[in-house]
């Protein structure tokens, strides 16, 4: 009589462009604003949405988007945070600022003031420019109860002129 033997189980690594995709890089779906619907460019699995997935916000019932309408999954989180569906500026929560749109050739990094995943009073936005560009004007703004301060907003990213 022969005995059945089991082969050892091997771990399977899912490959994406020849790199392992770790579950920590997947993103949980952002929560839709009241009167908002979110659609995604890729399908989720048990780990969430894969890196590179785009989330698109659409407002219903005549509401308008205040803030970003698109967000991309990167390193386990959708950024920038999607905007809100509002009837106007009066619908904004006091003490919460909306994500900023980076200027051409620039990126914005946020230093959150609290544990919540939004832009509370005290959150700082830092403007960084891509290589060969430099910040012209304001490089930082801070969220206050009245919005981002100074109210003039962040500067721009201008080409660096090399002196000869």
The total number of structural domains in the chain stands at 2
Q: Do residues 84 and 112 share a domain?
A: no
**What pLDDT, on the 0 to 100 scale, is given for residue 7?**
52
Average pLDDT per consecutive 10 residues, the chain (164 residues; last block may be shorter): 51 44 80 89 90 89 81 88 74 67 90 69 88 92 85 92 74
pLDDT of the residue at 135: 92
The residues with which 90 forms a beta bridge, in sequence order, are none
Is residue 94 within 8 A of residue 112, CB to CB? The reply is no
Is position 133 within any domain? yes
What is the pLDDT, as a whole number, of residue 10?
47
Q: What pLDDT shows up at residue 159?
A: 93
Structural domain including 108 reads 93-164
**Residue at which a domain ends, from 40, 66, 91:** 91
Residue 134 lies in a domain: yes
- Residue 82 belongs to domain with CATH number: 2.10.70.10
Looking at 91, 111, 145, the residue that finishes a domain is 91
> How high is the pLDDT of residue 13?
43
CA-CA-CA-CA dihedral for 30, 36, 40, 44, to nearest 10: 50
């Amino acid at each position: 009589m022969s005995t059945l033997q089991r082969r050892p189980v091997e771990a399977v690594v899912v490959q994406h462009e020849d790199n392992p995709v770790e579950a920590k890089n997947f993103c949980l779906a952002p929560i839709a604003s009241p009167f908002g619907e979110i659609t995604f460019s890729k399908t989720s699995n048990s780990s969430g949405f894969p890196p590179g997935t785009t989330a698109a916000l659409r407002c219903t019932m005549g509401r308008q988007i205040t803030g970003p309408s698109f967000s991309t999954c990167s390193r386990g989180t959708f950024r920038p945070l999607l905007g809100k569906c509002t009837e106007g500026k009066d619908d904004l929560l006091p003490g919460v600022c909306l994500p900023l749109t980076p200027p051409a050739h620039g990126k914005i990094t946020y230093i959150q003031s609290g544990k919540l995943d939004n832009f509370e009073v005290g959150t700082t936005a830092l403007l960084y420019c891509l290589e060969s560009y430099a910040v012209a004007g304001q490089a930082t703004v801070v969220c206050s109860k009245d919005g981002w301060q100074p109210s003039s907003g962040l500067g721009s990213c201008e080409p660096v002129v090399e002196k000869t």
